[in-house]
Structure 1
Amino acid sequence: MRAFAELLDRLVFTSSRNAKLRLMGDYFRHQPDPQRGYALAALTGALDFRSAKAGQVRDLVATRVDPVLFGWSYDYVGDLAETVALIWPARHGANRPPDIAEVVGELERAHRKRVPDLIERWLDALDPTERWALLKLITGGLRVGVSQRLAKTALAEAFGADLTDIEEVWHGLSPPYEELFAWLEGRREKPIIDARAAFRPLMLANPLADEEVERLDVEAYRAEWKWDGIRVQIVAGNGNRRLFSRTGEDITNTFPEIAEAMDFDAVLDGELLVVRDGEVASFNDLQQRLNRKTVTQKMLRDSPAHVRLYDILFEREEDLRPLGFDDRRARLERWHARARPARMDLSELLPVAALDDLRQLREEARQRGIEGLMLKRADSAYVAGRPKGPWYKWKRDPLSVDAVLMYAQRGHGKRSSFFSDYTFGTWRPDRENGGWELVPVGKAYFGFTDVELRRLDKWVRDHTVDRFGPVRAVSPELVLEIAFDAVHPSTRHKSGVAMRFPRVSRIRWDKPASEADLLETLEAMVER
């Protein structure tokens, strides 16, 4: 546990991507199996201890620490694992520090009632940094600035392997990945997996900068709408029916109606949407279906899933990725005409002859409730990752409103000491008392610099008027300019609207709160 704790601790305080790669690579090269494999699983989100919950940790610490003291400490620190690690009064005895493999093995076998005893025993045997790493491992959400792809990149660089090769076998393997490390170290052949059920890394687009638009060779590209759903990969054939998210997470069980329609043999790339009566619903409707362990008949009826197909990667066993986009598109159209899969249609290719056509389509995107445009070179092979040049995304300009800061909460990780999560509102008539009232319309936690964060944090502390657990209510004085991609009706929010990707665009220190926008301004932007 010591080596794993040191790795996490150093990753938290390392901002450089290359430095993070070196730290992980050094760990993977020098730590033994199965410890390094379980660490890799933790970094990539592949561990899920169903018998261990954060609530058990809270209940456990309450047996050792005064609840009021813990509550105040948690409010100040802002992170459960860090708070418990620092405040835990260890009882030293015969306990010995566990290694990461022992922790994983015990938790996977343990009944839920036994888990608190295990955690208590381990906490007593570890120092504060090790306790923090243990609790992060148990509760998930490491928040050390490492994505699944970055961890795989560290593997590739540490062992001189091709990242695409690692991606190709990744979803056929499971922790602690001993056969993966044996292959990377040259001790055995590349793992053989069921290729018909494997996830293939997606090809991604680069944002198209304004200065690049004028230099774009329009005739060399094909244009499609950029739909506001989630990117998915459909893998079907040889008895397999799998639906993967863009990061390779298996979401098949969340969308059983799509799985039911996979009675073919192909690997397809597309966008998962909610479609009713032929019309694409808002992302807010799709969000009702995401991350659901249980899918009810009401969900299936009210939010029917649909996939808009962009590309075909395999037809039966034939790998089509080396073909140019135009050739793959022709194959996709012929395949779709033959297979006629339910709940799937083709993304429309838009007629574009000149740059003015592209500009006009981008202007039309907002009226159509679409995010923007995708531009793909006609001769581009399907390449994993985000190569520069073949594919671009040209999103429509963001919307913005001036809103008033209402509540603030501490962040996590490096921001756990700062009030960095901000809830903001707009004005609407107060029908009961007359005058005007603020109603929350969104929450944002990025878009500002570190210098601005320190100033915002001080402002929150100086203007706090009430506390609600870890949340501070502030006097309604500070105006934030909020940028967002779209706004949709929402029955889940008091305001009746929900923003898509809200972020702080500017802090209006100069603007009186009375001049912030009205709720009706947001309502007028709703995409219906």
Structure 2
Amino acid sequence: MSVSFFDLCQAIQKIRETRGTNAKIKICSDLFSSISSSEKLDLAAQFLGEGAFSAVSGKRALVGSRTAGLAASEFCEIDYDLVYKPCRTATGSNSEAIERLLENVPEAIQKREPVQLSLMSVNRYFHRLQEASSRADKIEILKELWRQMTPVEVKYSLRMLGQGSLRIGFESRSTLSAIASAFGYDREEVRYVHMITGSIGKTAVLAKEGRLGEAEFRLFHPLSFMLATPIESRKVEDLSAYVGEEKFDGMRAQVHFSDSKTLIYSRDLNEISRSFPEVKAFFNRRNLPDVVLDGEICVYSDEKIQPFQLLQKRMGLKQPSKKIREELPVLFIAYDLLYVDDKPFFEKSLIERRERLEELSLRFDLPVTNQFEVSSFDQLDEWFKRALAHGNEGLMLKKKESRYEYGQRGKSWLKVKKPGGTLDTVMMYAHAGSGKRGGLYSDFTLGVSVKHDERYEEEFIPIGKAYGGYTDEELKRLNAEIKKLTVERYGPTLGLLPGLVIELEFDDIQVNRRTKAGYTLRLPRFKRLRWDLSPDDADTLKDVEMLYQQRVEKERRVQGNNPSFYYKSKETEE
């Protein structure tokens, strides 16, 4: 079967509108099994599961929301500030807003002549966008592409260019399950091949051609990270099956080293080596064997792990200045070993991985976490208090006999944390849910008050998005109240009058200059619905700024005795 880009987007939209994971997997499986060409299957799986470019390609299109919005404004012949921006705010989504505009604006309808582009043709456009150096050039390429597309193709092509989730309730784990179903393989076998190849497209082709057994691990492509589950969601009956370590207030990273070459990857599998030249220099000075390490990058000075907010000042800097490196020195602290001695280690138990990691630490002076035995919840509480005193987020409990469960959030790693704080926020927008909540508004944009803030003309501005934390009955009541407060409707999003107050729990506050507030909340979630409060009781942006400053200035204990990690030399890296 010849599958066009339109066919792929129709399948993606059908997956979004379908309830139930198994039903979604069947739609995707049927699509994959119908594609006769390996080249087309590679692209279809890549576009659906990874985005415009393979995760291991190192390529990014760098088409931001402003570039896409300006292209849409020109294409639709509308004013960017007066028309486009309110539409984007109302929908809560750049791609949704552009889809709706192309569907409804007469000037845009007249310009579009959809031609059922092939997957290869769209791939060429993606590469042209990646190679274009100026915003003006990217806008012209986008307009050229959109003339040949339907609105649903435009929406999903933009999401693919973002290299993130397509937001259809169907993540990479489900895509891999669909590959397994389409070509008659065990899901774990497919997941393993994806982990060692790093490419969903290549994994699909190997499965189609019956060559999964040919896949081999190679250095310098990032591996999917193992994830942790909050301890609250799992009852732990036998603490002795776990070891503990402090959960750092840093940035998760993976280091690949071979023959004096070091590459560093972030949790979203992007290469970030240039942002942290000290880490590269640290590894390049050591005569290590080929190795892949999982760990955390932290700002470390005065024998203290400094706040994440300070690390954030370095994130995204491609070439940090000498002054920045001196003011905010970073250190990579390892806590797991994935590859060494010319062979993968992720299938071995945590105990085996840890023994080999500690040998490397002693021989080559690598910073490695301090692990400790936990025999009771009273002892766990003491370790937790010590972690907080060090300025860390909490604790990790790791099952001793577990293998490295790449890309999974399972029961083998548990995180013990307490919320960073709460804010009373006002619901500003309600977004239609998907899956089992497809008939209800279940995703929400929450805001803080700026009505007495001379910097703003509005009464409330967004501070974060959240969903969950409510019962089915509370969600039904929420939806009933939302109908009374709706003042504008645009696609799947409702704009609301101030009326509903949500106590929002979060892990941390981060600076984000791209937002109106200048801050975003890290992992926001509902704590409770405050039916007893009015919008006048909501917290303010100045409250957010005060909380942020308190976190930055919080006193932290030096590592001293019982440190959270071991590092013998404490050398200064240039």
Could you tell me the TM-score, scaled by structure 2's length?
A: 0.73
- Partner residue in 2 for 1:369: 391
1:502 to 524, 532, 538: 524
Deviations 1:420-466 (A, max 9, x none): 211124999x899xxxx99979434324555365356446546x9xx
1:81 to 72, 89, 98: 98
- Partner residue in 2 for 1:97: 116
Do the aligned partners of 1:196 and 1:240 also contact (CA within 8 Å) in 2?
A: no
Q: 1:136 to 1:303 in 2, by over 3 A?
A: same
Q: 1:408 to 1:209 in 2, by over 3 A?
A: closer
Whole-Å separation in 1 of the counterparts to 2:395 and 2:480: 38
Pair 1:301 & 2:305 matched: no
Deviates more, 1:325-334 or 1:361-370: 361-370
Whole-Å separation in 1 of the counterparts to 2:77 and 2:406: 50
1:58 to 64, 70, 73: 70
Q: 1:208 to 1:515 in 2, by over 3 A?
A: same
Question: For residue 36 of structure 1, what is the amino acid of its counterpart?
Answer: L
Whole-Å separation in 1 of the counterparts to 2:72 and 2:450: 41
Q: 1:360 to 1:200 in 2, by over 3 A?
A: same
Pair 1:167 & 2:179 matched: no
- Partner residue in 1 for 2:339: 314
Whole-Å separation in 1 of the counterparts to 2:207 and 2:526: 44
Q: 1:294 to 1:422 in 2, by over 3 A?
A: farther
- 1:2 is displaced (CA, Å) by 2.1
2:417 to 379, 395, 410: 395
* SS in structure 1 of the partner of residue 354 of structure 2: helix
* SS in structure 2 of the partner of residue 309 of structure 1: strand
- Partner residue in 2 for 1:237: 258
Deviations 1:76-105 (A, max 9, x none): 545233223313213477x73321210221
Question: For residue 278 of structure 1, what is the amino acid of its counterpart?
Answer: E
Q: 1:5 to 1:489 in 2, by over 3 A?
A: closer
Do the aligned partners of 1:484 and 1:499 also contact (CA within 8 Å) in 2?
A: yes
Whole-Å separation in 2 of the counterparts to 1:56 and 1:324: 47
- 1:410 is displaced (CA, Å) by 6.2
Deviates more, 1:286-295 or 1:20-29: 286-295
Whole-Å separation in 2 of the counterparts to 1:490 and 1:65: 30
Pair 1:248 & 2:253 matched: no
Do the aligned partners of 2:486 and 2:494 also contact (CA within 8 Å) in 1?
A: no
Whole-Å separation in 2 of the counterparts to 1:116 and 1:388: 42
Question: For residue 483 of structure 1, what is the amino acid of its counterpart?
Answer: E
Whole-Å separation in 1 of the counterparts to 2:462 and 2:39: 47
- Partner residue in 2 for 1:8: 12
Do the aligned partners of 2:234 and 2:411 also contact (CA within 8 Å) in 1?
A: no
Q: 1:346 to 1:186 in 2, by over 3 A?
A: same
2:231 to 192, 208, 218: 208
Do the aligned partners of 1:486 and 1:500 also contact (CA within 8 Å) in 2?
A: yes
- Partner residue in 1 for 2:25: 21
* SS in structure 2 of the partner of residue 10 of structure 1: helix
- 1:494 is displaced (CA, Å) by 10
Pair 1:151 & 2:166 matched: no
Deviates more, 1:495-504 or 1:17-26: 495-504
- 1:338 is displaced (CA, Å) by 1.0
- Partner residue in 2 for 1:39: 44
Do the aligned partners of 1:419 and 1:457 also contact (CA within 8 Å) in 2?
A: no
- Partner residue in 1 for 2:502: 480
* SS in structure 2 of the partner of residue 231 of structure 1: strand
Question: For residue 42 of structure 2, what is the amino acid of its counterpart?
Answer: G
Whole-Å separation in 2 of the counterparts to 1:255 and 1:102: 37
Q: 1:431 to 1:307 in 2, by over 3 A?
A: same
Question: For residue 354 of structure 2, what is the amino acid of its counterpart?
Answer: R
Q: 1:2 to 1:451 in 2, by over 3 A?
A: same
- 1:224 is displaced (CA, Å) by 1.0
Pair 1:222 & 2:243 matched: yes
Deviations 1:169-205 (A, max 9, x none): 423x6x964xx44421236575566623343444333
- Partner residue in 2 for 1:423: 447
Deviates more, 1:359-368 or 1:82-91: 359-368
Whole-Å separation in 2 of the counterparts to 1:51 and 1:500: 24
- 1:269 is displaced (CA, Å) by 1.8
Whole-Å separation in 1 of the counterparts to 2:226 and 2:303: 27
Whole-Å separation in 1 of the counterparts to 2:86 and 2:409: 48
* SS in structure 2 of the partner of residue 212 of structure 1: coil
Whole-Å separation in 1 of the counterparts to 2:257 and 2:240: 34
* SS in structure 1 of the partner of residue 254 of structure 2: strand
- Within-5 A mapping of 1:313-462: 313-341=338-366, 345-350=367-372, 352-386=374-408, 389-396=411-418, 398=419, 400-405=421-426, 408-409=428-429, 420-425=444-449, 442-447=463-468, 450-451=475-476, 454-455=479-480, 457-458=482-483, 460-461=485-486
Q: 5+ unaligned residues in a row in structure 1: which ranges? A: 465-469
- 1:236 is displaced (CA, Å) by 0.9
- Partner residue in 2 for 1:281: 306
- 1:9 is displaced (CA, Å) by 1.0
- Partner residue in 2 for 1:467: none
Q: 1:276 to 1:45 in 2, by over 3 A?
A: farther
Do the aligned partners of 1:228 and 1:371 also contact (CA within 8 Å) in 2?
A: yes
- 1:8 is displaced (CA, Å) by 1.9
Q: Once the two structures are aligned, what percentage of the paired residues are identical? A: 22
Could you tell me the TM-score, scaled by structure 1's length?
A: 0.78
Deviations 1:373-401 (A, max 9, x none): 222233334343548554322223x2544
Whole-Å separation in 2 of the counterparts to 1:163 and 1:353: 38
Deviations 1:327-353 (A, max 9, x none): 432322221111124xxx111123534
Whole-Å separation in 1 of the counterparts to 2:454 and 2:91: 40
* SS in structure 2 of the partner of residue 262 of structure 1: helix
- Partner residue in 1 for 2:208: 185
Do the aligned partners of 1:206 and 1:386 also contact (CA within 8 Å) in 2?
A: no
Task: State the number of aligned residues.
Answer: 504
Whole-Å separation in 2 of the counterparts to 1:273 and 1:248: 18
- 1:6 is displaced (CA, Å) by 0.8
Deviations 1:2-55 (A, max 9, x none): 211212211222342222322222222212343332232223135266375652
Question: For residue 44 of structure 2, what is the amino acid of its counterpart?
Answer: A
- 1:357 is displaced (CA, Å) by 0.7
- 1:509 is displaced (CA, Å) by 1.8
- Partner residue in 1 for 2:571: none
Q: 1:189 to 1:60 in 2, by over 3 A?
A: closer
